[in-house]
Amino acid sequence: MPLALLALAVGAFGIGTTEFVMMGLLPDVADDLHISIPAAGHLVSAYALGVVIGAPLLAALTARMPRRTVLIALMVLFVAGNALSAFAPGDTSLLAARFLSGLPHGAFFGVGAVVATNMVAPERRARSVSLMFLGLTVANIAGVPVATLTGQHLGWRATFLGVSAIGLAAIAALALLIPHDHAPAPANGLRGELAALRSLPVWLALGTTVAGFGALFAAYSYISPMLTDAAGFAETNVTLLLALFGVGATAGNLLGGRLADHSLRGTLFGGLASLVAVLLLFPPLMRTQGTAALAVVLLGTAAFVTGSPLQMMVMEKASAAPSLASSANQAAFNLANAGGAWIGGLALAAGFGVTSPALAGAALAVLGLGVAGVAHAVDRRREPVPPGRVVVSHVPDRSEALHR
């Protein structure tokens, strides 16, 4: 695999760190800026909104630019957003800076996935995407815990300065490692990219992403109360357990990339089915601490097995113009984040118990399987007839015609 994939992984590591670190810094930010915890929670929403808006918008605006240049420009925007976050004088300016930080997120992963697959042989394309996503999953193991500790001891502003430094390292790596010939400007331009979004298979692939990862976030958004109230862990142990989720996600991501190169559709169906099983087992597994820790690892593994197949499926359905569709898939991931958390919250609010969000997630995973099944049926219907195969249709004979 080319060394240039390391540059994409470094960028993904910085993006993953800044996306998730705010959850751990909310009390510190709220105290420093003299705002409530719910008000500080809007900083998480502002970043997600930036991702959803920025993913298709920036991919469309940069449709005719060389992809190497686009990746570097997106990381420059990422550094600017995090640096402005570090020096934000108040909550309103920090809200705007977090929105700015989220804008390049989806487009970076979308364009980066296209560049990654262009650098390898066809039988290694899914694996190359999984190696780029490796930066995102490793951020949950190392980046987020270290950044959270840094913010707690040196102040939350130091965290965003550190993330800016990661972004600068990613810019240098992109400039040094990604050759120009592997990231040409797309020939189709904006019109060709937009045309890809008129395809039903593309929308079915995006729908599978929303339902499948919505299943993950329905449970993961409420994993802390499950671990403390159901499994009996102390709050101080939750950070370590979330790192275990990152370990599972990393393993699932690498496994999914390898398997998808052999069978894209089989890996996707298998991953979603395993996610249904894990989420259904969550209530009994949360009864003891040992099985609860296992459940956290299995959740990360099952969910992220589907990451590379979903990205590859969207790119495959929009093969003539993959950048915008690939970036839109990242927006779909963040819609899954928001929608899954909302649905899991409904289960909790209805009084079904602290582990009920996992069961709501299982229902979403079943929905994802259904959408993937419809997508497969549409693909089968659109497949061209193989050469030499005779398709026989009923033609009424003369006697039938005379009878009529």
Q: Are 24 and 295 in contact (CB under 8 A)?
A: no
Q: What's the mean pLDDT in 222-232?
A: 86
Q: What pLDDT sits at residue 192?
A: 64
pLDDT band with cut points at 50, 70 and 90 for residue 152:
confident
Residues 162 and 290 in one domain: no
Q: For the chain, give the percent of residues with pLDDT over 70.
A: 88
* pTM (two decimals): 0.78
Residues whose CB is less than 8 angstroms from the CB of residue 45 and which lie 6 or more positions away in sequence, other chains included = 338
CA distance 269 to 371: 11
Kindly state whether residue 328 falls inside one of the protein's structural domains.
yes
Kindly state whether residue 404 falls inside one of the protein's structural domains.
no
39: pLDDT strictly greater than 60: yes
104: pLDDT strictly greater than 50: yes
Residues 291 and 321 in one domain: yes
CA distance 404 to 402: 5
Which tens digit of pLDDT belongs to each residue from 73-84?
999 999 999 999
Residues 291 and 153 in one domain: no
Kindly state whether residue 391 falls inside one of the protein's structural domains.
no
Its domain, for residue 209, covers 188-381
Q: What's the mean pLDDT in 168-185?
A: 81
Distances (CA, A) of 294 to 74, 241, 253, 278, 288: 37, 10, 17, 10, 10
Kindly state whether residue 211 falls inside one of the protein's structural domains.
yes
Kindly state whether residue 392 falls inside one of the protein's structural domains.
no
Q: Give me the residue label for tokens 């020096």.
A: 87
Q: Are 317 and 325 in contact (CB under 8 A)?
A: yes
Q: What's the mean pLDDT in 119-139?
A: 85
From 185, 215, 230, the end of a domain falls on 185
CATH number for 192: 1.20.1250.20
Q: For residue 269, what are its two tokens?
A: 């169906």
- With residues binned 3-state (H G I as helix, E B as strand, rest as coil), the percentages for the chain, rounded to 5, are 85, 0, 15
Residues 151 and 266 in one domain: no
399: pLDDT strictly greater than 50: no
Domains in the chain, number: 2
More confident residue, 184 or 88: 88
Q: What's the DSSP call for residue 286?
A: T
More confident residue, 180 or 389: 180
Q: Which of 328, 361, 357, 354 is nearest to 345 (CA)?
A: 357
From 147, 165, 185, the end of a domain falls on 185
Residues 368 and 325 in one domain: yes
Task: Report the alpha-carbon angle 1-103-220, nearest 5.
Answer: 75
398: pLDDT strictly greater than 50: no
35: pLDDT strictly greater than 80: yes
Maximum pairwise Cα distance, the chain: 92
CA distance 321 to 187: 9
Residues 219 and 314 in one domain: yes
139: pLDDT strictly greater than 70: yes
Q: What pLDDT sits at residue 320?
A: 65
Residue type (1 letter), 154: L
Q: DSSP characters for 147-204?
A: HHHHHHHH-HHHHHHHHHHHHHHHHHHHHHHS-GGGSPPPSSHHHHHHHHTT-HHHHH
Residues 32 and 177 in one domain: yes
Q: DSSP characters for 345-394?
A: HHHHHTTS-TTHHHHHHHHHHHHHHHHHHHHHHHHHHHSPPPTTPPPP--
Residues 150 and 281 in one domain: no
More confident residue, 26 or 211: 211
Residues 200 and 179 in one domain: no
CA distance 380 to 350: 41
Q: For residue 1, what are its two tokens?
A: 């695999």
Residues 236 and 288 in one domain: yes
From 161, 185, 209, the end of a domain falls on 185
Residues 85 and 110 in one domain: yes
pLDDT band with cut points at 50, 70 and 90 for residue 281:
very high
Kindly state whether residue 397 falls inside one of the protein's structural domains.
no
Q: Are 106 and 55 in contact (CB under 8 A)?
A: yes
Q: What is the average pLDDT value for the chain, to the nearest integer?
A: 84
Residues 121 and 160 in one domain: yes
Q: What pLDDT sits at residue 369?
A: 93
Q: What's the mean pLDDT in 122-143?
A: 85
Kindly state whether residue 228 falls inside one of the protein's structural domains.
yes
CB atoms under 10 Å from CB of 309, counted, come to 32
349: pLDDT strictly greater than 60: yes
CA distance 39 to 154: 23
Kindly state whether residue 387 falls inside one of the protein's structural domains.
no
Q: What pLDDT sits at residue 158?
A: 92
Which tens digit of pLDDT belongs to each residue from 58-73?
888 887 788 889 999 9
